[in-house]
Structure 1
Amino acid sequence: MASLQIIGQPPKVIHTYQVIRIGSDENDKTLTYCIEDKSVDKLHATLTRYEKGLYLVNESRHGSVTLNGRKVGGPVHITYRDTYHGCCRLHFGHVEALLLVSGSLNG
């Protein structure tokens, strides 16, 4: 199981083959998380789950996305091995988030 929690908002479970879209465009109804912060672009990042892991992509031209303190550009493959006790720290611009991953991403 995997879930994403942007600080200040409730966590959302990420199901297999689901794409989580993070951005700041309040008119875009396809965003899973709409963040009201100037450091977040209209479509800032996507997080996609598949059978054995997740892919995190920085969709922003100017904004930053970090995974455990490292900047993300193109697709980054995330598995349970990339977590610390099942948790990854993410930043979308200046906004902090937690990615919680159980021991098994299957199912």
Structure 2
Amino acid sequence: MSVTIFHNPRCSKSRQTLALLEEKGVGPTIVEYLKQAPTADEIRDICAKLGVEPRAMMRKGEAVYKELGLKDVDDDNALIQAMADNPILIERPIVIANGKARIGRPPESVLEIL
């Protein structure tokens, strides 16, 4: 089974989710998405695997969210592009396995897709 985690090592929830995966014997592919930003197409695919609209995987408390006026943007493609251009906007961590994805908030939620 292939498992990928979009990880930010500075985030406690992301570290907890990674530790939980490793505790369960899963050695995921780790993508430090702030260094290796996903493309717009990859973000679109993650949204589909999560089963959510793009805004649901955005960190709305980030300064760049406010600076870009994203609260008032209704175009999903524009939101996806904003995340591709500013990966800090992507909620973390996101785990992908078995053709599905989960946001690790709480970390245990990722176990549903393993």
The structure whose Rg is larger is: 2
More strand by share: 1
TM superposition score normalised by structure 1:
0.28
TM-score (norm 2): 0.27
Q: Going by fraction, where is helix more abundant, 1 or 2?
A: 2
